[in-house]
Structure 1
Amino acid sequence: MGRLDGKVAIITGGAGNLGQKTAEIFLREGAKVSLVDMDKSKLEQAQKELSDENVMIVEADVTKEEDVKNYVDQTVDKFGSVDIFFNNAGIIGDVGSIDQQSLDNFNKVMSINATGIFLGMKYVIPVMKKQQHGSIINTSSVDGLRGSANMAPYATSKHAVVGLTKTAALEVAENSVRVNSIHPSPVSGNMMETIHQGQSALRGNEEEQIEGEYIKSIPLGHYADSKNIANLVLFLASDESEFITGAEYRVDGGFGAN
């Protein structure tokens, strides 16, 4: 028996490292998975690598309401329900101080990282209310719990995820729907490489020095792996967390203890 036997999950940002790793673990634990991303070729590659009949893919822009409605509808049409929603799509945006940031970049980051979270819940929640059960896991960041120099659009958007999570948790608790946020510290992969490059260009330091400074701030001494984050998502998706809602879960190697 898997921890998610008989459950249906939607994962946005499904073609990314974390989305695909979470899908792999969900499938192993018995779930059916709908992978959502705006990059069709990466979605198709992820589906090929997962090689499981219980995976479907949906190309969608999480900032477009009609696309969001469509990925929820398609999932329900194929699998019959939505028991788990990993609301995970997000971007870093440009690195720079507030006076250097463009309004276009700010709006783009907010649109994907905050509006995308809002729209996903807007269309998943009615399905879960009807079922009278469900678990929503929203991806924030350690930067959603603190300030982050030269990352104002990203930090602002990730703070917004916290407000959306807590508000949704209050609204749907009576329907036995749980809503929690996860707060990873740096995770190895493309997003951290983008930050290294941006901070290096801004400060004039080598990317290796920037990376070393980030790693030094993590007591466990290294970046997270996607598996470390996906295992937390699994716990929050499963019935093992049935009395947890409205909570902020750090997975940060001790970063928040500093």
Structure 2
Amino acid sequence: MDNPVVLITGALTGIGRAAAVAFANRGANVVVAGRRDEAGKALVEELRGLGSWAEFVNADVRNEDEVRAMVDETVTRFGRLDIAVNNAGTEGRPSPITDQSAETYNATFDTNVLGVLLSMKHQVRVMKEQGSGSIVNISSTYGHEGAAGASVYVGSKHAVEGITKSVALEVAASGIRVNGVAPGPTDTGMLTRFTGTPQNKAALVSEVPLARLGLSEEVAAAIVFIASDEASFITGHILNADGGHSAN
């Protein structure tokens, strides 16, 4: 599709930002969503410099009213929604299970799981009326593996993958594809916060067969592919972009 309309949540940093740039470079009209106005406006200017008809929407994916408005504003501005990338996420508070609480659970699941669920609810609402659309949810290798000291984050990403596959089956007859991309260790601010120390980061890299961190741009390329018509017969799939980590 020429000049598709793409909505990306959590678009202001890391993988979300790289995806916005990648779609803009391919001629897409991009709506970037996040919670920081100044950063959002700066990103929009950058995307417009690449030739994209870009817009920023301030939205918190934990709030259904804001999610509904985010999707509706996209459609009002551009007339449709072709691709949605649900990237907003948090690493939460990595620590042993004995240090977790209802508060740490809610802080992680409200963004990583509820945010994806609410976003898909309203994206599907619009895409069903169109009879077409592609949704990509960002998971993690921890969406299908375990990790000591990260039970809440891991649980949230397992939930994302289960929701992705279930909704893919639910909407397949409506002309909507739903897939996920599962990054491995990627050189982002979130990874630095998640690992905590250079030693922990190095230990994580040692588990990657390609022996390095991934780049946000590499994960973005996977997102663009699976969202595109080139992947038109793929739905309900989790695409690993992890340097071979899941093959261990």
Q: TM-score, normalised by structure 2?
A: 0.96
2:48 and 2:15 mapped to 1: Cα distance?
A: 17
Partner of 2:117: 118
1:195 maps to which residue?
194
Deviation at 1:196, TM superposition (A): 2.2
Alignment-mate amino acid for residue 179 of structure 2: N
2:94–2:153 contact (8 Å) kept in structure 1: no
- Within 5 A, what are the aligned runs for 1:49-198? 49-52=46-49, 54-197=53-196
Matching residue's letter, 2:104: N
Residues in 2 aligned to 1:126 and 1:211: alpha-carbon distance in whole angstroms? 40
8 Å Cα contact 1:95-1:151 kept in structure 2: yes
In 1: Cα distance, 2:247 partner to 2:216 partner: 21
- For structure 1, the residue ranges without an aligned partner over 5 or more in a row are 198-206
Aligned length: 246
2-structure distance, mates of 1:210, 1:231? 27
- Residue 211 of structure 2: aligned partner: 221
Partner of residue 201, structure 1: none
Off by >4 Å, runs of 4+ in structure 1: none
Matches within 5 A, 1:37-52: 37-52=34-49
Structure 2 residue 232 is the aligned partner of structure 1 residue 242: yes
Name the structure 1 match of 2:29: 32
1:17 maps to 14
SS at match of 2:118: helix
Q: Write the letter of the residue equivalent to 1:239.
A: D
Instruction: State how far apart, in whole Å, the 1-side matches of 2:153 and 2:118 are.
Output: 18
Give aligned-pair identity as a percent.
38
Shift of 1:102: 2.4
CA distance in structure 2 between the aligned counterparts of 1:102 and 1:193, rounded to whole angstroms: 23
Q: Which amino acid aligns with 1:213?
A: A
In the alignment, the residues of structure 1 paired with residue 77 and residue 175 of structure 2 have an alpha-carbon distance, to the nearest angstrom, of: 24
Deviations 1:77-105 (A, max 9, x none): 00000000001100001111111112211
CA distance in 2, matches of 1:51, 1:166: 34
